[in-house]
Amino acid sequence: MKDCKVIKDISLVMKWERAFKKRVKQGKFSERQFLFFLLGLGTGLQYEELIRIKYGDLKLKMLLTNAKGRPKEVMYIVLPSKSKRRKVREIMFPADCKKRIEQLRQEYPDDTYLFQNKSSNMVGKPPASWSVDTVRRFLTESAEAIGMAEESIGAALLRKTFGYLQLKHGGWTLRDLQQYFEMRSIKLVKEYVGITGEEFD
């Protein structure tokens, strides 16, 4: 599979997730690397935004996620708007990511960053997060296991795939995605997630 700037086939995304999870059990990837993958697909945040998340940034609140159900505790972060001064964005985390984060926090109580560099645990070294290059390397390696070419794994692959799948399966409109990604126009959104013609219009 070449030039995969956006994954439009949800079955391929699920295949990638299963392969990644299997290799975590085999010890080839860490639980934290798998969490990054899930958060990238589940929030659409850029790699630079994800690696900067600290445990102190995580917030909890009760939210009604189902019209017929009871309020559930959800995890989210608040980020400054990229386009509007003094505005903020609330980014909700998927429920399975919330559970994984809570487990990691119990295992590594001294970590400052959600994705913290192991060298930061050495005495006298200040906390440091992963680098974007680190992220790209393990995502590329994990994707190659399902036949995706290295050149297909761009810096925005998870973000773009999140956007497309929200339109295709999540009930979002192009306007919803424009607001979430804070883009200037619907045209830019369509170009970004690889939409051609009148798809989703």
Note whether residue 58 is domain-resident. yes
How many of the other CB atoms lie within 10 Å of CB of 62? 10
How far is it between the farthest Cα atoms of the chain?
Answer: 57
For residue 122, the model assigns a pLDDT of 65
Please give the Cα distance from 5 to 193 (Å, whole number). Answer: 8
Residue 2 lies in a domain: no
On whether residue 5 sits in a domain, the answer given is no
CATH code at position 65: 1.10.443.10
Task: Determine, yes or no, domain membership for 98.
Answer: yes
What SS3 class is residue 73? strand
**Residue 155: its pLDDT value, please?**
83
Q: What are phi and psi of 128, to 5 degrees?
A: -140, 145
- Domain limits at 37? 10-192
Structural domains counted in the chain: 1
* Owner of token pair 């409109």: 173
**Hey, what are 128's tokens?**
């440091």
Q: What is the pLDDT of residue 2?
A: 41
Would residue 159 count as lying in a domain?
A: yes
User: What is the length of the chain?
Assistant: 201
Q: Answer yes or no: is 63 within a domain.
A: yes
Q: What angle do CA 14, 195, 47 make, to 5 degrees?
A: 55
Model pLDDT, residue 1: 37
Q: What is the mean pLDDT of each successive set of 10 residues along the chain, which is 201 residues long?
A: 72 96 96 97 97 96 82 94 88 96 92 88 80 94 87 87 96 96 95 85 71
Q: Supply 146's token pair.
A: 């399902």
Per the domain annotation, does 3 fall within a domain? no
Q: What is the pTM (predicted TM-score) of this model? A: 0.92
Q: Are 1 and 148 in contact (CB under 8 A)?
A: yes
81 within some domain? yes
